[in-house]
Structure 1
Amino acid sequence: MWEYGFGIPDELFVRGNVPMTKEEVRAVSLAKLRLRRDSVLWDVGAGTGSISVEAALFCKEGVVYAVEKDEQALSLIAENARRFGLSNLIPVPGEAPEALFNLPSPDRIFIGGSKGRLRDIISFSCERLKEGDRVVINTVTVESACEALKALESSGFSTEMVLLYVSRAKKVKDMHMLISQNPVCVISGDFKVKGEGE
């Protein structure tokens, strides 16, 4: 159904009333993940599964675990996986970090929703990551962005943050007006194993 790069148009996903990472933000977030063809990705707070779908399309030799506690969202993830013909996208019911306990260790983690448990999720993730593995976190509030940066840096990650402002043109009579979407912070980091005394 989709044979191109990142940034699948939003309208190609089954969405319902579940939050979804918009295509422009999705494209940047996926680029920041630096996926490999055989990556194992945990998508925490997967929503509709739009990040999971695009990652699974790219990681043809890998697997994507879409972790989500909302039942409606889980059914949308499964439906979107079917729509794009994906067998390497696995919906995982439950709340992180508990829902992560029995999953295979990842080399990439995307956190789009944490239900206020970001520090717990990062702390547990550090037990499963190897040197150079990567985490990307999207936030829409200043407080969440600060928490994400602090949590990553205190756990030994090198970090980077970009703030995305996306505006889309809307036709008004014979002109085009740019309509702003909510800004999104994309925070990424490479894991560094702490040595003795660190």
Structure 2
Amino acid sequence: MKLGLPDAAFIRGKVPMTKQEIRILTLVKAQIGPRDIVCDIGAGTGSLSIEAARLAPEGHVYAIERKKEAVCLIEANRERFDLENLSVIEAEAPAGLEGLPPVDVAMIGGSGGHLMEILDRLTQKLREGGRLVINCITVQTLAEALDYLHVHETVYRYEAVQVQVSRLRRAGPYDMAEAQNPVYIITCTKEA
């Protein structure tokens, strides 16, 4: 299984999608194993959920998304990639986490303003040694996540990186760098 499907491989609408370079880094940080149980909160188009399901063929991925258009896109992408180990939950987190089994990996791409409550619920759901990856596109989300991790420093070990990707595009006879939005990736491991 190859990691890092091209962005064009996914059915897209007007819903935000985690771009290929950020997906690759997020999935490498998540260290998803073939039997892992994974949840993707704020799944958007499902690009991370799809790649996670491909990495965990004997496990299961739960994509939690509150927006109907996004849920439809995730379901369409699940069908496109013929993945039976991916369930789509149309719900706002943290409520959408209620019926889930304990998870090995949790990814947060969107929180709908409920990050603290989501992290509290995930702290209960995440197995010891489990990984939590939070993608932050705003400094406010970054600050909120770091505040939580500082308060829970006996529960989580974490690292954070800021990633800025630029893509070349043609400008007449030249190639010009076009910057993408920077993303902060926080990777946490739940302590035993």
Q: TM-score range by the shorter chain?
A: over 0.9
1:163 correspondence with 2:162? yes
Give the C-alpha shift of residue 112 in structure 1. Answer: 0.2
Q: Which has the higher strand share?
A: 2
Tell me the secondary structure at the aligned position of residue 149 of structure 2.
helix
Tell me the equivalent position of 2:179. Answer: 180
- Residue 124 (structure 1) aligned to one of 121, 125, 128: 121
The amino acid that maps onto 1:172 is A
Tell me the equivalent position of 2:43. Answer: 46
State the Cα deviation string for residues 74-95 of structure 1 (Å, max 9, x = none).
0100000010111111100101
Tell me the equivalent position of 1:60. Answer: 57
The amino acid that maps onto 1:180 is A
Structure 2 Cα separation of the partners of residues 40 and 51 of structure 1:
14
Give the C-alpha shift of residue 139 in structure 1. Answer: 0.7
Question: What is the root-mean-square deviation of aligned Cα atoms in Å?
Answer: 1.0
Structure 2: give runs of 5+ residues left out of the alignment. none
Structure 1: give runs of 5+ residues left out of the alignment. 194-198
Tell me the equivalent position of 2:25. Answer: 28
Structure 2 Cα separation of the partners of residues 93 and 164 of structure 1:
30
Percent of residue pairs bearing the same amino acid type: 42
Are 2:50 and 2:77, in contact at CA under 8 Å, matched by a contact in 1? yes
Structure 2 Cα separation of the partners of residues 100 and 76 of structure 1:
20
Give the C-alpha shift of residue 146 in structure 1. Answer: 1.4
Are 1:53 and 1:81, in contact at CA under 8 Å, matched by a contact in 2? yes
Tell me the equivalent position of 1:196. Answer: none
Give the C-alpha shift of residue 34 in structure 1. Answer: 0.7
Structure 2 Cα separation of the partners of residues 128 and 72 of structure 1:
27
Q: What is the number of residues matched between the two proteins?
A: 190
1:141 correspondence with 2:135? no
- Residue 149 (structure 2) aligned to one of 136, 147, 152: 152
Are 2:158 and 2:188, in contact at CA under 8 Å, matched by a contact in 1? yes
Of 101-110 and 148-157, deviating more is 148-157
User: What is the TM-score with the length of structure 1 in the denominator?
Assistant: 0.93
Tell me the equivalent position of 2:66. Answer: 69
Are 1:122 and 1:152, in contact at CA under 8 Å, matched by a contact in 2? no
Give the C-alpha shift of residue 130 in structure 1. Answer: 2.3
